[in-house]
Structure 1
């Protein structure tokens, strides 16, 4: 158990065995022996390992072990294996803490996810995603309005959202998996809000269309269409832009982005998908975006990232209800007991911004 956890923590940190050994004053070969459970570190080395890897000592002896099932990475072909290992290790750590927390409750207050009952058994065309997304919105009573907090919505439906702060740049587009039958979606805390939201909606699409697609359909394209239509329904789009346009102002797209949380580029593509603009205008505006550098970074104020507060809220709720102790709460939040005391008493400004898990 210790060796596996040490290996995972080292992977999450991005350190080689040699680099970790150098930082903790032991040889690379000794780190290898630790990871293969052929030797155990002394208490002083254990402290240095914890400090270097930024984990609490309890992490190495945590009794709960989880397995990510049905893992689906949405990654670029150029994504280094080292990056994927770091993401996987971070997600496993957070998932284990979730499961630890859940096991402490007599009745954990997170519902099981159930897809909307009215969804069709089979999807025959990509255009079907317009009606499909409307059914989801209708059953979840969302109407046509913008969804202000997608993470909060997903968590209320029984989908866990894990936010990783691993430096992943543009080489990773999200991850979807299951933990004990509970769907999990992983996003980056470093992404802009519109990229997070599209990824969340796209991964929701994968969950909902599972085993429903006709064999000739490309699942990635289907889920892209679902994400756009779920975030910005056709009726709402037409209300804002009209049924037919022969030109568009960039600021129209900018305002729509900040109202519905969908990038300007995705709003432009949505206009083409719905036949509001011709393919020729789409190409013209896309070329203009590229020349201005807007395809890499869109203009104006960026959409702030969404955050998940559910884990921390449940830790404090469990503390208040006497389900867990202060030391256990600090361990679950992966902070020192002193830091936990400061956060609990709101003694510093930093404590007012919740950790994302």
Structure 2
């Protein structure tokens, strides 16, 4: 169990627990001093304590035996809003765990996935420039001029790793690079339209070279960066004249029902649709502010419609099923990689015998 200490620390941080909180979860059977020594690798637990820790942390005992297949480069998870250092560390460990399993599946299939940024590093100084870059990216990726279906799967196929994790309620998404791998992290329990918009917003954070024309200020304030990425995200999900075709070119007011219909078709929040209408000059900000203030108290837009399309990534699952079908790994290994019980996986990977024709 050479890597026990490393695995124990990772499992604890994924839970977002301190050493003392893990002590409490074990009903004080294990002391803080003992846990510290386990994580430092200077002491090993008995079989009884190992099973106790496994139960408390909700991992299989074999989790502590496994050696990390990849030594991922060091990376940081940016803290946003009220995200605490402990919460950011928990998200980081979850990203490491999921990404390592993803890369392991690719390596077993000899897949060398590489991300290429199709956008030249043109400085983006304002919201209009961001919208123009979104149009270029849609063209480069041959995504057409209609609604984008299954954004998560599309990004996966383009080489961006989209990882969904349990997170604090005030968290929507963040992005980082792990080595040369672009990673977008989303709150898995947020409504689909919000996750799609968050994914496009974080894509903007990853790809856009945001700057200003003023020589004294090379990087805009966070508020400017935020607005630029929001316009980029909206332009990706509402391409071209899609919004004008839905609501017209000039309005004094837009009915909530109209926004619900656009949300259902294009899959972005009503708040973002209204902000895009302001940006395009379809409606004056003063006429939109009342509605935007009402939405501020309902960030998930509960009872205000939903995206009707499919939004789910299948690439990792396809790789696992292929690995089992080609007998590269067994069902137990597949269960370890996916976290799905072996008996449930077995039903999805059973190979039917071919029917021999007489």
Measured against the shorter chain, the TM-score band is 0.7 to 0.9
1:299-326 CA-partner distances (Å, limit 9, x unpaired) = 3333478332221221111111222222
DSSP-derived class of the 2:241 partner: helix
Alignment of 1:103-252 (within 5 A): 103-105=107-109, 107-108=110-111, 111-116=113-118, 119=120, 121-164=122-165, 166-170=166-170, 172-210=171-209, 215=218, 217=220, 218-252=224-258
Question: Using the alignment, how far apart are the partners of 1:288 and 1:91 within structure 2?
Answer: 34
Q: CA deviation at 1:114?
A: 1.1
What are structure 2's unaligned runs of at least 5 residues? 352-358
What are structure 1's unaligned runs of at least 5 residues? 347-357
**Shift in alpha-carbon separation, 1:74–1:265, aligned structure 2, 3 A:** farther
Question: Using the alignment, how far apart are the partners of 2:20 and 2:196 within structure 1?
Answer: 39
Matched, 1:322 2:327: yes
RMSD: 2.5
**1:255 pairs with one of 261, 271, 279:** 261
**Shift in alpha-carbon separation, 1:230–1:181, aligned structure 2, 3 A:** same
**1:67 pairs with one of 63, 72, 81:** 72
TM-score, normalisation: structure 1 = 0.86
- Counterpart of 2:8 in structure 1 is 6
TM-score, normalisation: structure 2 = 0.85
Question: Using the alignment, how far apart are the partners of 1:344 and 1:122 within structure 2?
Answer: 48
Is the CA contact 1:130–1:234 (under 8 Å) kept in the aligned structure 2?
no
Question: Using the alignment, how far apart are the partners of 1:46 and 1:336 within structure 2?
Answer: 21
Question: Using the alignment, how far apart are the partners of 1:298 and 1:340 within structure 2?
Answer: 34
1:50-91 CA-partner distances (Å, limit 9, x unpaired) = 222122233223322443555352611x22222222211211
Is the CA contact 1:159–1:182 (under 8 Å) kept in the aligned structure 2?
yes
**Shift in alpha-carbon separation, 1:276–1:320, aligned structure 2, 3 A:** same
- Counterpart of 1:31 in structure 2 is 35
Q: CA deviation at 1:269?
A: 0.7
Is the CA contact 1:234–1:274 (under 8 Å) kept in the aligned structure 2?
no
Question: Using the alignment, how far apart are the partners of 2:300 and 2:100 within structure 1?
Answer: 35
